[in-house]
Structure 1
């Protein structure tokens, strides 16, 4: 460096034994040189870079920081690469008010509160975890194993972020394998062997050390874990170093998918940097097989440029706080992208990631890109095709180069089928029926049939074998946890206690627990039974229609019958008698007017229909036996200290005692439906508690003597049990949904219930045959007919009276006098001939020729 004034000294703490450290050191030197060339080439001012090699040792990193600050008088420190080193260096830097620009992959959110001079010069990896989760979702993998370096930063930052990202896509971590920085070969073999025994075949590798990564993949290849059915996904920083691996290492990583942060490599500035970097890297590190710069080189270049710019504008001020503020105000376009720090002194999260596929001798294939905004894409052009699934990016070369995408887990094979336990204590053989055929067992029933139908919907053949297990259902499910069986198929209720040992599919039956009780003849009061054929509203309509029709007939015929005259009280009694006597006799011969006869005929027809229906309905009520349950709620059972029954071997004993609060001495277990029926009939028990599917089957067989009463208590229903975290479970649930949607379960259930013949068909009539009270809605047409007929008759009569009374205006007062006169004459008819009435004036009426009949 030429002699001249020094405007600033920059320190760097790197691990020169690593590829990342080598790239970072050269990139920093190039950044200082380029900055000097751009800004100080015509002056004697210069920037100085002091680099100290820590070899990845924490104490050396801390001592190097003190040396750079106290002896070299640096204004800023770049690096180191790991968080463990960074935490010590940041402590020293903050105590001396010297900014530390860290390249560590992850720093805790609280770091800046403790060390205010710490600046995160590498981009946040939050979206990195989302990119890997998107890959997992694309291929419908639901479980992954994670292999990571056992460091605080991985446990505190990477694992929580990755676990959350997986939950967002309905996946989860099944096994965690923390590796020390330098594991022994035997230790690595032992740990990988444990993972190999598990069914999950998707491995996410998060290692910052390239040496550890190389050791892992070489051991995995040696153990045949880089073959068909395996999936390996690497994260940064390991993916960012794949370009530096030689052919021997690449051969052990064939089929690996890698995700790394993308930086633009098509600008002229980067091409100039790349060309210079390659030449100098070959000179300084001839031991390296590859001279291409990676993400570590470009982010180190940008960090050195950031500090140089801040020094240029703050060269005369020797104040650490103001220098830090100047760094945080940086805003320029670097090799890695936009350099701009946010409020918590970090670069914003990276938003574009590149997916690579290790294949072939030359290294890897650039498979495509992922961003949270656009999803997967083959290119970053605006009009490029974008997709939510990685499948659309094209063919992926998986380990072992299989013809199809790995399932992500190892399904059972013919040589190692799925071991399924079937309960031998099932109360209802219609659900699980195990029979001995010679020297072998045959398995059938509704539960088995649904399971077989579900297997038909799987995208692959699932070899399996059924095994009989004669013990309680709780112990049956526990066998999965003990690894004695791989699954349980049968009428197994889903309970929280059983969930401790296994995981269940969604229920394939109705949910709920019900109470079944015997029925008895209804003993209600029959005093008012004669009123039951009709509803109250119907009786009201009958009375009103009769009174209205009686009034119409009375009004028309009142002057034709002496008995219809008299006092008001007498006429009201006659009207009521006339209204209801018509229900039993017509008396049509005594009627003088055709209008009243028409009213009476329609009225009698309606009355005849109503009377016949009343008689029939009353007869039905007297002959049909009504049944009612002996008990309607559990409070009655508890208050009467009654015994209740439940199925032997089920969880119901615990439920009845702990939830429904029955006494232990008041519950009794049964092993067959016949025992249930016998105990209920003899009143040995007051009620039986059954799951809804079992209750439906019981009532199909004993359809007359028993009934479900009370509320339905929510329980889990029947499901199939698998090991907790089984990768088969999502696929099994999807296949079970297909069976539901196809109607197959409904068909199987109806077939099962149809085969059950009611054993009590001739004992009692079904409740559906009970007679019901009839309402006015059943007779509204008849009421309209008779009401309309009577109204027409009444209106016609009034019209004729009006016409006769007002035919000649001069007769009004005489006609009124005649009405009053003849009203009191009970022996004469109101429709008699009116004569001898002289017309006032010059004209007169011939009374003998003029008659008025109504």
Structure 2
């Protein structure tokens, strides 16, 4: 073609006898070659036989009478099987010998209806013919079926644009696609045609190529829900109740364990031996304050006990507090378990609260079909004379019958197409809901982000291919449909037309936030219960062992145990007197003496002898004087406080004046 073009240009220049040369400036448009138009006119007049055949041009400047040979590659060479001329393909006999012709295949007439994405008009700037006029899921599926069955399909739209409904039961007259199949105008009907019992009486259906069900399409509300009690959203009601019960129960356990264990009873003023009183800081108020304070991450400091105006003023001015720290092993166990419980609860609450406050929660006026039927502000409808309309009309469920009566009383809510239903849902701004198959809703919500599906499926059904009763092709179609499903071809076609071709416009909605329940936090409550039981066991063991050690000779262990248990369970006092040993045990306690070699305890068996605590003379503090060999003896009462060496040491130091 390049050679023919150069030859035509040369011929035109030769026929143009005279012309003047002119220098041309590439950067200026002032000077132009005056013979350009003349040469174009000469080229249009040229007609010659070239390598590519006859070369000539029409009035518009396009090549006229252009012919292309159609060849096919054989084992040895290319062989002509036809030719193309003026937009028409001319086939020779060799065409049918080398290429599998669709014209030899059986022709199956298909009737369908326009409904995105099953069947749509093809978008093209050229005029299309035959099956090329349409595209969609059904068109691609029929191509795949044709490959298996070695048949060709002729797709045409149904004349009345409906799916098919019984018009006259006496004459069995149907309209829509079902009617065309019954009248012989089409061999099969392929679309989003629902399989139901009424249609099964008139035609046969193949195995369903897609499963679906009736659902509701509705416009997303745009207002944000606000609540005064949003801070309670992270936990469910059951968790809040269990948390409150845990606070009360652990506080009571802490209180009773603190009273049981003797290690929480201590002398608040060990230097004042004339006030032999033990005090327990694990009273009811402090126990609750310790548990609540640690849960609120604020510690468990408590104000000191105020015994005078001076101490009150001093505590107010200096804001003095002291830490409420457990002393016994049992109370420390329950404190540690509660701290662990608090760590998990507070962390879970904080994380879930942040998510609840940042994610917008849009309220829907209804969440299922029951709530939609009970209200009166929002109207609802479906496709007129479609399978969904028949579902409500023939339903035995009172709720669906009520909704069918509403649609009959308000015929304006019934639409003639799904597209009209979608448009009305958008325009009504939350005042209209439309029932349609979930497959179509899924396609719409992939492209219209302001629409969504509300509730689940009202029923379960499928789309099938309709054939005449007893048609042999029905079994073949069902077999191929099953193969396409097993190999995943139908799923690939659905993904292509639902998600890839125009889908994915809307960002996938985040997973709805759910409050944490016992399924999420039950384990930490179990740990808390186990820890509380362990603390109780330790507290009881400490109580039994300490009571056994401090038993006097004048009483028995069961008597002391009963007396201590009554005192602990009375829950009336947080102080008690020091328990002294009997005079017999005191008389057996040796007197302590302080000599030049230090403190010594001489032995003695005289019951009438009063215990002596010997001290050095006053000159022992004078470094300039030698120690007196004869110690000065001071008589003081000796007390043994619950067998505690540390407390005896404190009292001795106070008596001796040792700081």
TM-score (norm: length of structure 1): 0.43
Alignment pair present for 1:586 and 2:299: yes
Q: 1:785 to 1:634 in 2, by over 3 A?
A: closer
* Residue in structure 1 matching 2:340, options 587, 605, 609: 605
Q: Distance in 2 between matches of 1:650 and 1:827?
A: 81
Q: CA deviation at 1:782?
A: 2.9
Q: Per-residue CA shift, 1:413-436, capped at 9, x if unaligned?
A: 84473232343x423135545455
Q: Which residue of 1 aligns with 2:204?
A: 503
Q: Which residue of 2 aligns with 1:730?
A: 475
Q: Secondary structure at the match of 1:701?
A: coil
Q: Distance in 1 between matches of 2:110 and 2:379?
A: 33
Q: Secondary structure at the match of 1:449?
A: helix
Q: Distance in 2 between matches of 1:453 and 1:725?
A: 24
> In the alignment, is the contact (CA less than 8 A) between 2:217 and 2:434 conserved in 1?
yes
> In the alignment, is the contact (CA less than 8 A) between 2:238 and 2:518 conserved in 1?
yes
Q: Which residue of 2 aligns with 1:514?
A: 215
Q: Which residue of 2 aligns with 1:769?
A: 512
Q: Which residue of 2 aligns with 1:625?
A: 360
Q: Distance in 1 between matches of 2:373 and 2:511?
A: 27
Q: CA deviation at 1:681?
A: 4.5
Q: Which residue of 1 aligns with 2:545?
A: 803
> In the alignment, is the contact (CA less than 8 A) between 2:146 and 2:152 conserved in 1?
no
Q: Which residue of 2 aligns with 1:739?
A: 484
Q: Distance in 2 between matches of 1:781 and 1:634?
A: 37
Q: Which residue of 2 aligns with 1:453?
A: 144
Q: 1:809 to 1:829 in 2, by over 3 A?
A: closer
Q: Distance in 2 between matches of 1:821 and 1:648?
A: 83
Q: Distance in 1 between matches of 2:240 and 2:393?
A: 51
Q: Distance in 2 between matches of 1:630 and 1:582?
A: 42
Q: Distance in 2 between matches of 1:821 and 1:717?
A: 77
* Residue in structure 2 matching 1:851, options 637, 643, 649: 643
Q: 1:613 to 1:446 in 2, by over 3 A?
A: same
Superposed counterparts of 1:479-490, under 5 Å: 479-490=180-191
Q: Distance in 1 between matches of 2:576 and 2:489?
A: 82
| Higher RCO (C-alpha under 8 Å, 6+ residues apart) | 2
Q: 1:526 to 1:644 in 2, by over 3 A?
A: closer
* Residue in structure 1 matching 2:350, options 615, 620, 626: 615
Superposed counterparts of 1:225-374, under 5 Å: none
> In the alignment, is the contact (CA less than 8 A) between 2:117 and 2:498 conserved in 1?
no
Q: Which residue of 1 aligns with 2:652?
A: none
Alignment pair present for 1:426 and 2:109: no
Q: Secondary structure at the match of 2:555?
A: helix
Alignment pair present for 1:701 and 2:414: no
> In the alignment, is the contact (CA less than 8 A) between 1:680 and 1:687 conserved in 2?
no
Give the aligned length.
431
Q: Per-residue CA shift, 1:553-603, capped at 9, x if unaligned?
A: 4345453498xx9999x9545543443233233337432514234432442
Q: Per-residue CA shift, 1:45-70, capped at 9, x if unaligned?
A: xxxxxxxxxxxxxxxxxxxxxxxxxx
Q: Per-residue CA shift, 1:709-745, capped at 9, x if unaligned?
A: 375146x632222232211212222222222233332
What is the Cα-based RMSD across aligned positions, in Å? 4.7
Q: Per-residue CA shift, 1:391-417, capped at 9, x if unaligned?
A: xxxxxxxxxxxxxxxxxxxxx984473
More displaced stretch, 797-806 vs 489-498? 489-498
Q: Secondary structure at the match of 2:415?
A: strand
> In the alignment, is the contact (CA less than 8 A) between 2:550 and 2:643 conserved in 1?
no
Q: Distance in 2 between matches of 1:587 and 1:838?
A: 44
Alignment pair present for 1:477 and 2:178: yes
Q: Distance in 1 between matches of 2:522 and 2:335?
A: 18
Q: 1:729 to 1:476 in 2, by over 3 A?
A: same
Q: CA deviation at 1:642?
A: 5.9
Q: Per-residue CA shift, 1:75-114, capped at 9, x if unaligned?
A: xxxxxxxxxxxxxxxxxxxxxxxxxxxxxxxxxxxxxxxx
Alignment pair present for 1:538 and 2:239: yes
Q: Distance in 2 between matches of 1:490 and 1:779?
A: 50
Q: 1:811 to 1:622 in 2, by over 3 A?
A: farther
> In the alignment, is the contact (CA less than 8 A) between 1:645 and 1:689 conserved in 2?
yes
Q: Secondary structure at the match of 1:813?
A: coil
Q: Secondary structure at the match of 1:421?
A: strand
Q: Secondary structure at the match of 2:462?
A: coil
Alignment pair present for 1:752 and 2:497: yes
Q: Secondary structure at the match of 2:115?
A: coil
TM-score (norm: length of structure 2): 0.54
> In the alignment, is the contact (CA less than 8 A) between 2:120 and 2:136 conserved in 1?
yes
Q: Distance in 1 between matches of 2:328 and 2:199?
A: 85
Q: CA deviation at 1:625?
A: 2.8
Q: Distance in 2 between matches of 1:518 and 1:481?
A: 39
Q: Which residue of 1 aligns with 2:426?
A: 680
Q: CA deviation at 1:813?
A: 2.3
Q: Secondary structure at the match of 2:503?
A: coil
Q: Distance in 2 between matches of 1:683 and 1:452?
A: 41
Q: 1:557 to 1:477 in 2, by over 3 A?
A: closer
Q: Secondary structure at the match of 1:717?
A: strand
Q: Distance in 2 between matches of 1:669 and 1:542?
A: 53
Q: Distance in 1 between matches of 2:419 and 2:258?
A: 73
> In the alignment, is the contact (CA less than 8 A) between 1:517 and 1:629 conserved in 2?
no
Q: Secondary structure at the match of 1:690?
A: strand
